[in-house]
Amino acid sequence: MSLPCDTGSVELATYRGYVSERLNKSERLDERKLGEVRLPKVSRNVGTTLVGDTKSEGRGSLLSSVLYTDDYGTSIISDVHAVFGPPHSQTPDEGRLNVFVSAPFLKDNGGFASPGSQNNTVITNGLADYPLRQTEGYVRGVLESCIDLRQLCVYANEACWVLTTSLTLLNVDGALRASALHAAVAALYNLALPRAQLPNGDVVNQIDLHFSCVPIACTFGVLPKETLSFLVDTTAIEEMVCDGVITVAVDETGGLVDFYQLCSRSLPPQVLISASEAAYRLSGDIRKRLIGK
C-alpha cells in the first residue's frame, strides 16, 4: 500500500508499462541497482526551538522534531509531543503512544481536487486516506513491540505520559511503511521526557525513553517472473508493477520484529527466512543513519 504515483503528464498505464520494460532489463528509473536501498538523512530540531512549555493543538510539549530525507526526494517531518493523561483501562500500568500520519498534498477528504485548488494537489479515487491510516497502525504496532510502555507510567490507574508522534509526509515515493517507521524511530530514539508537574502538584522526574531494540524495516517488491525474485526498496510505481510487496522489520541481531505482505501470488515459506536475512544485511547502514550506531 502506497500513496498515488506522480506520473506528471504521462498516462498511468503508459508509465507503468515503461517501468515494467525497464525492470525486465534490470534497470530502474532512479538508476539504483535492483538490490540497492535509499539511505536516509536525519536533521534534528529543524526550524523549531524545543522548550518545555511549547504547546501545539493540545498535544503537549514538543520534545523532538526531525526531518527525514534521502537523495531521491523523500521528505518527512516527525514531531513528538508529550502530555500527561490517564492510562488505558486495559493497561493501567502503561503509558500511551499515539501515531498520526498526514500528507498535505492530498485532499483532506481523499477526494478529487476542486477548481482553484493548488496545482500540486493529488487527484485520487477517494481512498487516498486509507494508506495513511494503515501506516499509522503499522508504525504504532512496531513501536509498541520495541518500547516498554511501562516506562511512561506515573501512577498506575491514574496518570501516565502520553506520547504523540506526528508524521507529516511532504514527499514519499513507495516503501511508505518503512519510511514512516524510520522517521518515527529517529524522533523517539534517546528521547528525554522532562521533569514536570502534575495538576495535583506532584513533580515527576525526567525519564529517558529506552528501546528494547531498534527496528529497521526493508521493503521488497515481488517481481512478476517465473523464478521468484525481489526488488529492494520499491518506489510507488514499482509497487504497482510488482506482484506484491513485503515489508520486513528486524532488530540489531537480525531477529524478526514484524513481517507484512500484500501479494497476488502465494509465496513459499522460505521467503520469510530469505527476506529477513536480506533485511538484516541492509539494515546496518540505515540504522547508523538514524541513530548514529
pLDDT at 7: 63
Strand partners of residue 160: 85, 153
Q: Which residue has the cell 524545543?
A: 50
Residue 124 domain boundaries? 12-212
pLDDT truncated to tens, each residue of the chain (293 aa)?
567 666 666 778 888 888 889 998 989 999 999 999 999 999 988 655 444 443 445 567 899 999 999 999 999 999 999 999 999 999 999 999 999 999 987 765 443 333 344 443 344 445 668 889 999 999 999 999 999 999 999 999 999 999 999 999 999 999 999 999 999 999 999 999 999 999 989 999 999 999 999 999 999 998 887 677 889 999 999 999 888 899 999 999 999 999 999 887 778 888 778 889 999 999 999 999 999 87
Of the candidates 239, 202, 215, 292, the residue with the CA atom closest to the CA atom of residue 23: 239
Question: Is residue 67 domain-resident?
Answer: yes
pLDDT at 271: 79
pLDDT at 122: 42
The reported pTM is 0.88
Question: Is residue 287 domain-resident?
Answer: no
Q: Which residue has the cell 536516509?
A: 40
Q: What is the DSSP string of 206-230?
A: -EE--BSS--EEEEEEE-SSSS--E
Dihedral Cα 23, 225, 130, 40, nearest 10 deg = -50
- Indicate the residue type of 37: V
Question: Is residue 291 domain-resident?
Answer: no
Question: Is residue 278 domain-resident?
Answer: no
| DSSP helix/strand/coil, 196 | strand
Of the candidates 212, 158, 182, the residue with the CA atom closest to the CA atom of residue 282: 182
Which run of H or E residues covers position 85? strand 75-85
Overall number of domains in the chain: 1
Question: Is residue 34 domain-resident?
Answer: yes
pLDDT at 257: 96
pLDDT at 273: 85
- In the chain, the N- to C-terminal Cα span, in Å, equals 30
Of the candidates 278, 271, 239, the residue with the CA atom closest to the CA atom of residue 37: 278
Question: Is residue 36 domain-resident?
Answer: yes
Distances, alpha carbon 232 to alpha carbons 55, 151, 217, 229, 287, in Å: 40, 36, 11, 10, 17
Question: Is residue 217 domain-resident?
Answer: no
Question: Is residue 123 domain-resident?
Answer: yes
Task: Return the CATH number at 110.
Answer: 3.30.230.70
Distance CA 248, CA 41 (A): 21
- Enter the DSSP assignment of 44: E
Distance CA 32, CA 94 (A): 43
pLDDT at 239: 92
